[in-house]
Amino acid sequence: MTKPTIREIFDSMDYGTAPEGNSEAKAWLSRHQRFGHWIDGAFTAPGATFATRNPATGDILAEVTQGTSDDVALAVAAARKAQSKWARIGGAARARVLYALARLVQKHARLFAVLETMDNGKPIRESRDIDIPLVARHFYYHAGLAQLLDSEIPGHEPQGVCAAVIPWNFPLLMLAWKVAPALAAGNTVVLKPAEYTPLTALLFAEISKEAGLPKGVLNIITGDGETGAALVAADVDKVAFTGSTSVGRKIRQATAGTGKALTLELGGKSPYIVFDDADLDSAVEGLVDAIWFNGGQVCCAGSRLLVQEGVADRFLTKLKRRMDALRIGDPLDKSIDVGAIVDPVQLAAITALVDANPSGEIYRAACPLPEGCFYPPTLISGLQAADTLMQEEIFGPVLVSTTFRTPSEAVEIANNTRYGLAASIWTENVNLALDLAPKIKAGVVWVNATNLFDAAAGFGGIRESGFGREGGWEGLAAYLKPSAKTKALAPVALTDAAIEQVPDMDRTAKLFIGGKQARPDGGYSRAVVAKGKLLGHVGLGSRKDIRNAVEAAHAAKGWGRTTGHNRAQILYYIAENLSARADEFAKRIKDQTGKSGAEEVAAAVDRLFTFAAWADKYEGAVKPVPMRGLAVAVHEPVGVIGCLCPDEAPLLGLVSVMGAGIAMGNTMVLVPSELAPLTATDFYQVLETSDLPAGVVNIVTGSAAELAKPLAGHLDVDAVWSFSSQPLSTLIEKEAAGNLKRTWVNHGRARDWTQADARAFLAQATEVKTIWVPYGE
């Protein structure tokens, strides 16, 4: 076969292979062959091992040890021993080590990139040009955060020992996402890499000694899912997990009630929305990066194409032509676009899911497919929003597609998913893009771009895509906790007190749902008695009352679209009306609790003014990312928040949680103090006269123990807070696993309600959405 001439090459635009050498990686592997764990600054002797393979060739790369519960305990003990000293050296000293780690990643960049490609199967140009530079960037950035930590976030301390469980799609980058902020904040780490891809984590551990990282600060335990479960169950203070939604749900249940901090970055089914005025050629190229980057094995992959009807045929024709030009093959070939699937098990899962759902028109790229662990780039068009493949995460190089007519329909289809990780919007009308960005339920939105990441810009999801953020100040916050010590909270015991004195007129307070007073569905009430005096009755709410309250809260979702200024005016009005009835509320508190209520009422009025002030001042940020464009972090309301209010501060506690929630645009379902519920039923009279829209605040009196489960388990509630004196934290966190809603519970510890702690409440009342807007030609 004759070689083509230069002219022929230019005519065909064809190109040959460009293999990357892997001799250095092979030499490193040959020096080890069988790996133990990295514990307390050194490799342990290998135990029972399993093979890690090159997915493109099936060749065994190395043998790694299957971690046991004893191995996990040993690593956690090493981390525990090292943690206090690592925290005490201060942020500036930790910054030097993180900086050295960043430099060493750059120094060994090619070795890391080649090893990552050999172990994972992704194209070398992705690991070389994207993954490894981002790893270095994360350590540089968090070195800076460590330097500033002591002055910028006073009153906080490290969580302690952090367990990190990471996936196989970005092995070293996911390590950086977890390890860099944990170390910057003064924590120590026990990390379990994915079973399929442990090698770059082990290489990183080895070079960490050269950076001066003290022994025990970073520990690596290899193994399968059982090893990960043992680590989650171990004596750790925080769990950080990236992986599938199903495993994330199990971790939420396993950590329920333990007091362990938890962040979850889970699956996605991200919409890729193309409008008829978009630059279609650019949108096609963006889509190639969105779905075929890393073989589609990306949690935020743009796997759902929504294209406007008027250009759908033209766009799909362009897309198919581009698909046919993709090159699939040896991941170490720098000219390859799509590499191997990580393991035959994952290949079988992709194949089975597509084959089991034959709906739509299937188009597979006409490029040659090598033998082995490869799957062709695939487009399935003509689907309906409810079709299985439009709803389920395939986690492979498979794009599914449907059409829309109007922007509002695009938003409706985009949000028709249980996930909420990312979205891409393609249009030349920036007004349209910025109109849609807040309406799409996702933690990250890219405008005329896709898969943009940076250590300064928070990344993470909502709904069943998890909670918590990776990167930025908001990501660092998850590795810190308030340093103030708290006391145990004694549960309030309600007794059937004898009634010696009854009021002249019966007073039976109702529930407050949808702006109206409503009788409890069950028809039961409870007497409120203090010192033998019957003060009145309150309704005993039930599961159905919680359902009605949640429906009313959802019906008031327009509250979140009002301006902070308008929300502030109503909060000020509520405060004014409460102040006008201060003596009445003070007496009501004293009658129920026996304590003077004047100070609590005054504090409650002040607290409402505080959150009114914050309503239009809790600002987002423009993140300093290394690109020509903007990455804007905005605070959005969480949605519907259910809260079990404190018993020890019946008015101040209620207005604190309510004030923070509605100031940020949320709607609320409140279960007031059982000890002094008449305070809340008096308070809804204030709400009725303060121009608050119906359904923004709903109050269901009754037993916290009985209402906690339906509230926390409700799939249309977005977050649950509990400050009840009853031991409900375990129940709430377990029930919240149903839709992976955010929780904020007290774990039986008291809070000083005289302290506003406004930023803590505002952070819990908001989600951070990062909107990326590149600009320029």
What positions carry a catalytic annotation? 265, 299
- Dihedral (Cα; 741, 744, 745, 751), 10-degree rounding: -170
Q: Which residue has the tokens 């490894």?
A: 132
Beta strand 34-35 pairing with 60-65: parallel
Q: Strands of 533-539's sheet, edge to edge?
A: 508-509, 533-539, 525-530
CA atoms within 13 A on the CB side of 756: 17
What type of residue sits at position 407?
A: P
For 53, left (φ over 0), alpha (ψ -120 to 50), or beta?
A: beta
**Which three-class secondary structure state does DSSP give residue 463?**
helix
Phi, psi of 284, rounded to the nearest 5 degrees = -65, -45
**What are residue 308's DSSP bridge partners?**
404
What single string gives the DSSP state of each residue in 370-382? -SSS----EEEES
What number of other Cβ atoms are within 10 A of residue 12's Cβ?
9
What number of other Cβ atoms are within 10 A of residue 504's Cβ?
5
**What DSSP element (H or E) covers 383?**
none
- Provide the H-helix boundaries in 652-716: 652-663, 678-688, 704-713
**What are residue 537's DSSP bridge partners?**
508, 527
Contact by Cβ (8 Å): 770, 633: yes
Burial (0-12, 13-18, 19+ Cβ within 10 Å), 530: middle
What's the length of the chain? 777
Contacts of 437 (CB under 8 A, 6+ apart): 425, 445, 447, 769, 771
**Which three-class secondary structure state does DSSP give residue 65?**
strand
